[in-house]
Amino acid sequence: MNASTAPSVRPSAARFNLPVVGRCAWKEYRQLRAFWLALAGLAVGVQLAPLFLVTPDPEIVASWRFGVAWGAAALYLFGAAATLFATEHEEETYDFLAGLPAGWAPLFWGKVACAAVSAVGLLGALLLTGYLTGGWLTGYVAGGWQWSPTDPRYRVLIVLAPALLEGLAWGTFFSLTTRRPLMAAVLAIATASLCVCWLNAVFGESRALGLVFVESYQASLVPRMMLATAVFLIDVWLARWWLTVDRSPIAALAGRLQRARAAAAPGATALVDEYAKPADKRPGWLAQLRPLIWQTWRESRWTMAVLIALAIPAAVLWAGLFFTDFYAWSRPPGFLGVSVTIPLIIPAALAGACVFQADQRRRRYHFLADRAARPHCVWFARHAVWLGLGSALATVVVAISLVGITMSTWWTVAYSSPERFYYHPGVELHWRDFIPSIVYQVARAYGAFFFALLSGYGAGQLASMLLRSGLLAGFLAVVLSIVMAAWILILTAWDLSYLLFIGPIVLGMLLATSLRAPDWLLDRTTVWSYVKPLAAVVIPTVIVLALVPSERLNQVPALSARSANEPGLQQMLNGSLAEWRAADTPAARETAERYLKLAYQMTSWGSILSEMPADPAHRRDAVVGLSGELLTEFRRRYCEANRDVVRQAIEVSKRRECRFPLFGDDDDSLVRGRMEELIGVVGSSGDWYLEGSDLERALECFLAVLRMKAHISSGQTTSFRVMQWRYGSDCNRWVPLVACPPVRPSELDRFAKWAAHKDQTAARIKGALAQLDEAHAAEPDPRGHVIADYLLLREVVEGKRMPRSIDPRRIRSRPGRDAVLDPREILERSCWQLAYLANRLPWERERSLRALAWMTDVDLISVQIVSSYLSGSLHNQGPEFLRQHLRMIRFAKEQNRSWVHGRLSGSVDWKRTSYLIMREYDLRFRYVFVNEQFVRWVARCRGLKLQLALIAYRLDHADYPPSLEDLVPEYLDQLPDDPYGEGTFQYEAAGLDGGLAVGRIDTRTQQYRSGTIRLYIPAHEPVLWSPGLEGFRIEKVTPFGQGQLGMPVPLQLDPGRGLEGTQGDAVYWLDANEHDSFYGALIFPLPPRN
For residue range 845-898, what is the model confidence (pLDDT) as tens digits?
Answer: 999 988 888 888 878 888 888 888 887 776 566 677 777 777 666 555 544 444
For residue 300, give every residue at least 6 positions away whose Cβ sits within 8 Å of its Cβ, in sequence order, or none: 354, 358, 385, 386
CB 292 within 8 A of CB 381: yes
13-69 residue pLDDT tens: 445 566 777 777 777 888 888 889 989 998 998 888 877 776 666 777 777 888 889
623-632, 687-696, 771-780: the lowest-pLDDT one: 623-632
State residue 948's pLDDT score.
94
CB 946 within 8 A of CB 740: no
State residue 703's pLDDT score.
93
More confident residue, 360 or 151: 360
Q: Does pLDDT of 5 surpass 50? A: no
State residue 903's pLDDT score.
38
Query: If you average pLDDT over residues 402-423, what whole number do you get?
Result: 59
Q: Does pLDDT of 1005 surpass 70? A: no
Quote the mean pLDDT of the chain: 75
pLDDT > 90: percent of the chain: 18
State residue 458's pLDDT score.
92
Q: Which amino acid is at 643?
A: R
1047 confidence band (pLDDT: 50, 70, 90): very low
949-995 residue pLDDT tens: 999 999 999 899 999 999 998 999 889 988 888 788 999 998 888 77
Angular region, 213: left φ>0, alpha ψ -120 to 50, beta rest:
beta
289 confidence band (pLDDT: 50, 70, 90): confident
CB 279 within 8 A of CB 374: no
Distance CA 212, CA 741 (A): 45
286-295, 504-513, 815-824, 924-933: the lowest-pLDDT one: 815-824
Angle, CA 1006 vertex, CA 1001 and CA 1008 arms, to 5°: 45
295-299, 569-573, 701-705, 706-710: the lowest-pLDDT one: 569-573
Task: List the beta bridge partners of residue 727.
Answer: 732
State residue 139's pLDDT score.
45
State residue 589's pLDDT score.
93
Most confident of 219-228, 553-562, 895-904: 219-228
CB 1009 within 8 A of CB 988: no
Domain residue limits, the chain: 11-248, 280-488, 576-618+628-934, 985-1090
Distance CA 976, CA 831 (A): 49
122-137 residue pLDDT tens: 999 988 888 787 655 5
Query: If you average pLDDT over residues 331-352, what whole number do you get?
Result: 72
134-167 residue pLDDT tens: 655 554 444 444 556 666 777 788 888 899 999 9
392 confidence band (pLDDT: 50, 70, 90): confident
Q: Does pLDDT of 194 surpass 50? A: yes
Q: Does pLDDT of 547 surpass 90? A: yes
Report the sign of the C-alpha dihedral through residues 326, 327, 329, 335, in that order: negative
- The answer to whether the predicted template modeling score (pTM) of the entire model surpasses 0.85 is no
Q: Does pLDDT of 563 surpass 60? A: no
State residue 535's pLDDT score.
93
Q: Does pLDDT of 372 surpass 80? A: no
3-state secondary structure 876-937: HHCHHHHHHHHHHHHHHHHCCCCEECCEECCCCCHHHHCHHHHHHHHHHCCHHHHHHHHHHH
State residue 993's pLDDT score.
81
More confident residue, 1031 or 472: 472
Q: Does pLDDT of 513 surpass 90? A: yes
DSSP 738: B
594-612 residue pLDDT tens: 999 999 898 887 777 777 6
Q: Does pLDDT of 741 surpass 80? A: no
State residue 1046's pLDDT score.
34
Q: Does pLDDT of 1048 surpass 50? A: no
Query: If you average pLDDT over residues 526-546, what whole number do you get?
Result: 92
More confident residue, 1005 or 309: 309
931-949 residue pLDDT tens: 777 888 888 889 999 999 9
1024 sits in which H/E element? strand 1023-1026
State residue 673's pLDDT score.
76
Q: Does pLDDT of 1063 surpass 60? A: no
Q: Does pLDDT of 1027 surpass 70? A: yes
629-681 residue pLDDT tens: 777 788 888 888 999 999 999 999 999 889 888 776 555 556 777 888 899 89
334 confidence band (pLDDT: 50, 70, 90): low
Instruction: Look at the chain and count its residues.
Output: 1090
Question: What are the two backbone dihedrals, phi and then psi, of residue 1001, each rounded to the nearest 5 degrees?
Answer: -90, 140
How far out from the chain centre does Cα 265 lie? 58
211-225, 803-817, 916-930: the lowest-pLDDT one: 803-817
198 confidence band (pLDDT: 50, 70, 90): confident
233-257 residue pLDDT tens: 998 888 887 776 543 343 444 455 4
381 confidence band (pLDDT: 50, 70, 90): confident
CB 80 within 8 A of CB 171: yes
Distance CA 84, CA 115 (A): 8
DSSP 12: G
Q: Does pLDDT of 1050 surpass 80? A: no
State residue 818's pLDDT score.
41
State residue 549's pLDDT score.
93
1014 sits in which H/E element? strand 1007-1017
